Amino acid sequence: MNTKVDNIAPAVKNQFERMIGSGCSFADARFYDEDSSQHIVLYDGNLESNNRGFERGIGVRVLKQGAWGFAATANLTAISACFDRALANAQAAAKLLGFPKDMGPAQPTKGQYRPPVEKDPFEIPLSEKLKFLKDIDTSLRDKTVAQRIVTANFQRRRIYYWNSEGTEIDRWVLNTFGSMMVMSPDKDGRNQRRSVELYSDGTGTRGYEWLTNPDWFAGHAERIKSELSEILAAESLPPGKRDVILLPGQGFLQVHETIGHALELDRILGYELSFAGGSHVRPEMIGTLRYGSEKLNCRAGVVENSAGTFGYDDEGSQQRDFMLIDKGVLVNVLSCRADLAEANAKAGKTVVKESGTAARASAFYRSPIDRMTNINIDPGQDGTLEDIIKDTKDGVVLDVPVSWSIGSNREHFHFGCEIAWEVKDGRRTKVYKNPTYQGHTLEFWGSLDKVGNRSTWRLHQVPNCGKGEPNQIMELGHGIPVMRFRNVQTGEKE
Ligand SMILES: [Zn+2]
């Protein structure tokens, strides 16, 4: 049998009829006609790895008596058997069911999504990519630099989605990532580093042309090299309470760990607990919890140019742009369709009305779970980075995570960064190494008192967010302005 989509689609639709006839309330299928990846690493200018991946297959889900059954296969001539396995899994799961899953009213949708791309990275010869990365490596060379790492990472997927409600989605995914890092031991023998990852202002196209735009990547090589030499000459940040100004290169992790993961509905409902993945948020808090100061406006955003923009999620819901935290109050969470009824029942009132379009799977052989999309902080009214520095008496500017530890319910955190710039009486004075800061999530966001304007806003990508059992590595984005927090515990007592 030929396994082109023209043959797969009717075969899947026949199976939907058979599953509904077997007592299922819902069934869906994701056919990955192509899932290509390429990961290139240059280490000290040598090609450390060039991993090319290609996968093709189908993953199907059925919902029976409120229980999910999932199965997947790369054998596209055995789709019927794949549905049989999903059905058997649902029947087994139904015997152990806590709260029945419910997809709610049918939402038949037809749609297509194409990311904005000029140059498909998979059409660029390896030699051209290597030359580009090698040139960056050359510009990172310096007598103060002991090690250099330059990476590029590309993903291309063609995914068809169908479900028993009549939904049909046809979409491409294309993602481009890049990173560069310089490292050296300091005079105490401790490794120091400075790095940058491909970012943007959220606009533009996301193919190979993004990676080669010097503003967003290669043009930062000289800067990180000279900042590493400043770090190597610097003292450690002395401990104390002071204001903390997070650049987007650090702010994205703050949002990722203490807002994004905490607002995934499956965590809120307790489904990720066995993987140290709880949340301090409970369902009844949605709509009322004061998460941060009035300055905090956080949304699940749809931006043009980000790995967190994908058109339709893995339940066929069109990606929506909506507020998660509005003027400091928690108003919504990251959800898929099937858990809304449980959240509302546990809250004792309606706290979530429609899917957060956050059902995402990392591969055809993984079942979708609640994931971050683009978890963005809206730009504020407090001017540029320089305006915020001018307004700061005693503080530090922090950039790029090197270490992080988070409470299992995301209620507190401790982060280390690559670099700190001291701010005294409205001026940047000197660089400190080994900066750290810590706090309690709600107290910390409550101390947010300055949010930079659009000029400070950067779209950072996360290519490797891990979650679930079995683990699913997911890509997403964070659009973040410069943010200032008051009176934060920083530095370590020696
Ligand atoms: Zn993550």
Measured CA to CA, the distance from residue 83 to residue 237 in angstroms comes to 58
Pair (316, 382) in one structural domain: yes
Measured CA to CA, the distance from residue 372 to residue 34 in angstroms comes to 23
- Using the mean position of ligand 1's atoms as its centre, give its distance from the Cα of residue 14 in Å: 38
- Using the mean position of ligand 1's atoms as its centre, give its distance from the Cα of residue 261 in Å: 6
Tokens found for residue 108: 């038949």
Total domains, the chain: 2
On the question of pLDDT at 277 being above 90, the answer is no
- Using the mean position of ligand 1's atoms as its centre, give its distance from the Cα of residue 403 in Å: 14
Pair (407, 454) in one structural domain: yes
Measured CA to CA, the distance from residue 482 to residue 291 in angstroms comes to 19
Please report the DSSP string for 347-401 in residue order: HTS----S--S-EE-SSTTS--EE---BEEEPP-SS--HHHHHHT-SEEEEEEEE
- Using the mean position of ligand 1's atoms as its centre, give its distance from the Cα of residue 198 in Å: 18
Pair (296, 388) in one structural domain: yes
Measured CA to CA, the distance from residue 443 to residue 390 in angstroms comes to 24
Pair (193, 250) in one structural domain: no
- Using the mean position of ligand 1's atoms as its centre, give its distance from the Cα of residue 20 in Å: 36
- Using the mean position of ligand 1's atoms as its centre, give its distance from the Cα of residue 464 in Å: 7
- Using the mean position of ligand 1's atoms as its centre, give its distance from the Cα of residue 471 in Å: 11
Mean pLDDT (whole number) for 199-203:
96
- Using the mean position of ligand 1's atoms as its centre, give its distance from the Cα of residue 84 in Å: 33
Pair (291, 413) in one structural domain: yes
CATH number at 61 reads 3.30.2290.10
Closest to 297 measured CA to CA, from 157, 435, 431, 479: 479
- Using the mean position of ligand 1's atoms as its centre, give its distance from the Cα of residue 376 in Å: 14
The least confident of 108-122, 226-240, 271-285 is 271-285
Mean pLDDT (whole number) for 413-437:
98
Neighbouring CB atoms inside 10 A of 361's CB total 24
Pair (204, 63) in one structural domain: yes
- Using the mean position of ligand 1's atoms as its centre, give its distance from the Cα of residue 292 in Å: 21
Mean pLDDT (whole number) for 416-443:
98
Tokens found for residue 21: 């006839």
Give the tens place of pLDDT for each residue, 287-326: 999 999 999 999 999 999 899 999 999 999 999 999 999 9
- Using the mean position of ligand 1's atoms as its centre, give its distance from the Cα of residue 95 in Å: 32
- Using the mean position of ligand 1's atoms as its centre, give its distance from the Cα of residue 260 in Å: 8
Secondary structure (3-state) at 9: helix
Q: What is the pLDDT of residue 2?
A: 86
Measure the N-to-C terminal CA separation of the chain; round to a whole number of Å: 68
- Using the mean position of ligand 1's atoms as its centre, give its distance from the Cα of residue 286 in Å: 21
Give the tens place of pLDDT for each residue, 20-67: 999 999 999 999 999 999 999 999 999 999 999 999 999 999 999 999
| Confidence band for 276, pLDDT divided at 50, 70 and 90 | low
- Using the mean position of ligand 1's atoms as its centre, give its distance from the Cα of residue 474 in Å: 8
Tokens found for residue 167: 């939904």
Q: Which of 217, 233, 249 is the last residue of a domain?
A: 233
- Using the mean position of ligand 1's atoms as its centre, give its distance from the Cα of residue 166 in Å: 33
Pair (403, 380) in one structural domain: yes
What letter does residue 259 receive in the DSSP assignment? I
- Using the mean position of ligand 1's atoms as its centre, give its distance from the Cα of residue 283 in Å: 21
Radius of gyration of the chain (CA): 24
On the question of pLDDT at 493 being above 80, the answer is no
- Using the mean position of ligand 1's atoms as its centre, give its distance from the Cα of residue 472 in Å: 10
**Neighbouring residues of 21: CB distance < 8 A, sequence distance ≥ 6:** none
- Using the mean position of ligand 1's atoms as its centre, give its distance from the Cα of residue 473 in Å: 9
On the question of pLDDT at 473 being above 90, the answer is yes
Pair (428, 302) in one structural domain: yes
Q: What is the pLDDT of residue 190?
A: 96
Pair (193, 124) in one structural domain: yes
CA angle 156, 323, 372 (to 5 degrees): 35
Do you find a cis peptide bond into 470, omega within 30 degrees of 0? yes
Pair (194, 258) in one structural domain: no
- Using the mean position of ligand 1's atoms as its centre, give its distance from the Cα of residue 15 in Å: 35
Pair (94, 163) in one structural domain: yes
How much of the chain exceeds pLDDT 70, in percent? Answer: 99
Q: What is the pLDDT of residue 391?
A: 98
| Confidence band for 492, pLDDT divided at 50, 70 and 90 | confident
| Confidence band for 273, pLDDT divided at 50, 70 and 90 | confident
Measured CA to CA, the distance from residue 280 to residue 258 in angstroms comes to 10
Pair (201, 282) in one structural domain: no
Q: What is the pLDDT of residue 274?
A: 73
- Using the mean position of ligand 1's atoms as its centre, give its distance from the Cα of residue 479 in Å: 15
- Using the mean position of ligand 1's atoms as its centre, give its distance from the Cα of residue 144 in Å: 33
| Confidence band for 70, pLDDT divided at 50, 70 and 90 | very high
Burial (0-12, 13-18, 19+ Cβ within 10 Å), 191 = exposed
- Using the mean position of ligand 1's atoms as its centre, give its distance from the Cα of residue 465 in Å: 4
- Using the mean position of ligand 1's atoms as its centre, give its distance from the Cα of residue 476 in Å: 9
What is the Cβ-side half-sphere exposure of residue 148, based on CA atoms within 13 angstroms?
23
On the question of pLDDT at 410 being above 70, the answer is yes
Query: Domain residues for 225?
Result: 5-233
On the question of pLDDT at 421 being above 90, the answer is yes
- Using the mean position of ligand 1's atoms as its centre, give its distance from the Cα of residue 361 in Å: 14
Tokens found for residue 305: 């140019």
Q: What is the mean pLDDT of the chain?
A: 97
Give the tens place of pLDDT for each residue, 360-375: 999 999 999 999 999 9
On the question of pLDDT at 494 being above 70, the answer is no
Q: Which of 181, 210, 233 is the last residue of a domain?
A: 233
Q: Which of 211, 233, 255 is the last residue of a domain?
A: 233
- Using the mean position of ligand 1's atoms as its centre, give its distance from the Cα of residue 257 in Å: 7
Amino acid letter at 204?
G
| CA dist list (Å): 154 to 41, 52, 195, 196, 379 | 12, 10, 19, 17, 29
Mean pLDDT (whole number) for 186-192:
96
